Every structure is written in structure tokens, then in C-alpha cells.
Homo-oligomer: A and B are copies of this chain.
Amino acid sequence: MKQLRELVVDETFEMYVLLKSADVRVARNGKKFIAFTFQDTSGTIDGKYWGASEEEIANFTTGKVVFLNGKRELYQNMPQIKILHLRVAKEGEPTDPGLYMEKAPVDVDEMKQEFNDFLLDITEAKWHRIVRHLVGKYQQEFFEFPAAKRNHHAFAGGLAFHTLTMLRLAKSVSEQYSDLNQSLLYAGIILHDLGKVHELSGPVSTEYTLAGNLLGHIVIIDEEITRACLELNLSETDEEILVLKHMVLAHHGLLEYGSPVRPKIMEAEILHHLDNLDASMQMMLGALKQVNPGEYTERIFGLDNRNFYLPNIETK
């Protein structure tokens, strides 16, 4: 079956898609309509459902999988779907939203295995216990959540994938600079964004939670370390605990990016660099895969609104 991004102008089609969002509005004639965003793993596209009944409004809600019979059109130079027929997917049909969301490019089980290997390389006992405790507590969310609402790694499993990539980079960096404490770097990386499992509402149609808005994921994970210490009976005045907390508190690098303290130990500075590097790469890769060689990407908000050029060069 075709995917959304493959449709051409004026093509009529039938396919299962996810309702990524469904906003009810009132048209000029006083009747209600629903403004949908349809999604599958290839991307998203908008479409309006005119003259919606109250029953249809109650049925067609965010997060549902639907069977869509439509026609792809262009309106004011933007693609859209003219809806010919729409119904919620029935039993026996695909109904799992996860089938239609973008996902991390690595299998969850493989990721879990690789994480376990890194965990074993955290040889300092307190860090090992705290990290194991917290990853255990939030294991499901950790492998399902995106790393952000938008910008980088904004897809299911993005949180674990971003963390894993940073761990791999940290491995080669700490081999290069032998003075770095590899255990501390691994422990800090694994925890640094884990607070997002409370900051964001979930893998589907994620939004900031009230705790996310009022506390932020940096403070949330710091509190979790405090709770872990109490549960594991670890003294929070030990230097090992202070530096681990510092790793997560300082990981945004600058106060104006939301860290309450700037990095004051070498490993915290490097954690910030690696976070930056992987986030930048992911944003560039996401934008560049939309264009052909010789073209420029759209401007990328998270990279100071720069656009990037994809060269016409084959040799690597």
C-alpha cells in the first residue's frame, strides 16, 4: 500500500492512517467541521472534514487509526487531503497507533541489549545502583518516549535512541582522553534526559505536562536521584552523589538554556558537548533527507534558523 509521502497531486487513494490531531471548528455557515492531521511513518498531511455530526466528532479523535478514502490536492501551494470517505478502523483491521508513528531506526530489543552492556561498564557502585534503579523504574517509558516535542529526535523511541548514540560517542571520546571518568560520563548520559518521561505526556501526540512546564525535566530527574538515594539508602552528601546530580543539572551547558548551574567538572562539560553534537546531527539529517543534492533545506529553528545545503558530490 502507498504511504502518504508517495501520493501525487490529484491521486485518489484508500489507506489506514493515524489521526495525529483532530480540532473541531465552526465554519462561516455556522456548521462544525474537523481539521485533521493524518499521519503514517512517512510523514503527515492535513485535511478538513466538513459538516461533522456530533457523533462523528465524538468518534474521530486524536490517536485513533482510521480508514481514509481521499484525494491528494494542492491548496495555496500546500498539500492537503480532500476527504471522500472516513471511518474508524474496525476489529480485525490495524488499530495500533504505534504502526503509524515515526520510530527510532533501531529495534527496541537491540537497544536494550546495548544499554545493558553500557550499564555494566559503570563500575562505581553508587552510580551503578542509582542508574539501574531509575532505568528500571522508567524502563517502558524510556524506550517509548520521544526526546522532544519537536526539534530533534521527536519520534517514538527517540529518547532511548538519542541516549544510546551519545553513549557510543562517549565511548570513543573517553578512549581518546584517558583522564575522563568513563563511568561518570555513562551514568550522566543515561540519566540526563530521563526526566522527560514526566515532562512530556507520552509517545503519541506528546505535549508538555504541568510538571514539565513548572519544573522542567532537569529538575525532575534531579528529584528522582534524591528519591533513589532515599530508597537505596545512599548518603546524598557523598561526593559521588553530588557530581552525579551535577552532571544532569549542568547538561544544557548555559544558564540561558535552562541549566541552573554551568558545568564545573570535566565530564559535565563533555556531556553537554555530546548532547549538542547528536541533537545537531539529528536535526540536520532530518531536514536534509527532505531535499535532493544541489538543494537547500528549510530553515531549522533549533539551529539558529539556518538552512543547510546538500552538495552534489558522490565520493565519500
Contact = CB atoms under 8 A, between A and B. Distances in A.
Q: How many copies does the complex hold?
A: 6
A285 B179 contact: yes
B169 A176 contact: yes
A308 B260 contact: no
A209 to B, nearest CB: 10
A159 to B, nearest CB: 18
A22 to B, nearest CB: 13
A110 to B, nearest CB: 15
Contacts of A309: 210, 213-214, 264-265
Given A181-B316, A219-B222, A243 B266 contact: no
Interface in A87-146: 123-125
A76 B25 contact: yes
A211 interface: yes
Interface stretch (A38-46, A53-61, A275-283): A275-283
A315 interface: yes
Contacts of A165: 176
A196 to B, nearest CB: 14
A261 to B, nearest CB: 5
Interface in A20-79: 23, 25-28, 30, 73-77
A15 to B, nearest CB: 20
Given A168-B176, A176-B168, A25 B77 contact: yes
Interface string A211-233: 10111101100110011001000
A259 interface: yes
Given A25-B76, A26-B74, A214 B256 contact: no
A211 B263 CA distance: 13
Interface in A158-216: 165, 168-169, 172-173, 176-177, 179, 181-184, 210-211, 213-216
A315 B30 contact: no
Interface string A247-267: 001000001111111111110
A237 interface: yes
B210 A249 contact: no
B284 A277 contact: no
Nearest to A225: B223
Given A230-B227, A239-B311, A219 B260 contact: yes
Contact of A311 (B25, B125, B226, B265): B265
A266 B283 CA distance: 10
A277 B273 contact: yes
A292 interface: no
A7 interface: no
29 contacts: A9-B30, A26-B73, A27-B75, A30-B73, A123-B316, A124-B316, A169-B176, A214-B242, A214-B245, A214-B265, A215-B245, A215-B249, A215-B261, A216-B249, A216-B260, A219-B245, A219-B260, A239-B311, A243-B313, A255-B256, A256-B256, A262-B304, A263-B306, A265-B309, A266-B285, A266-B288, A269-B303, A270-B277, A273-B273
Contacts of A257: 255
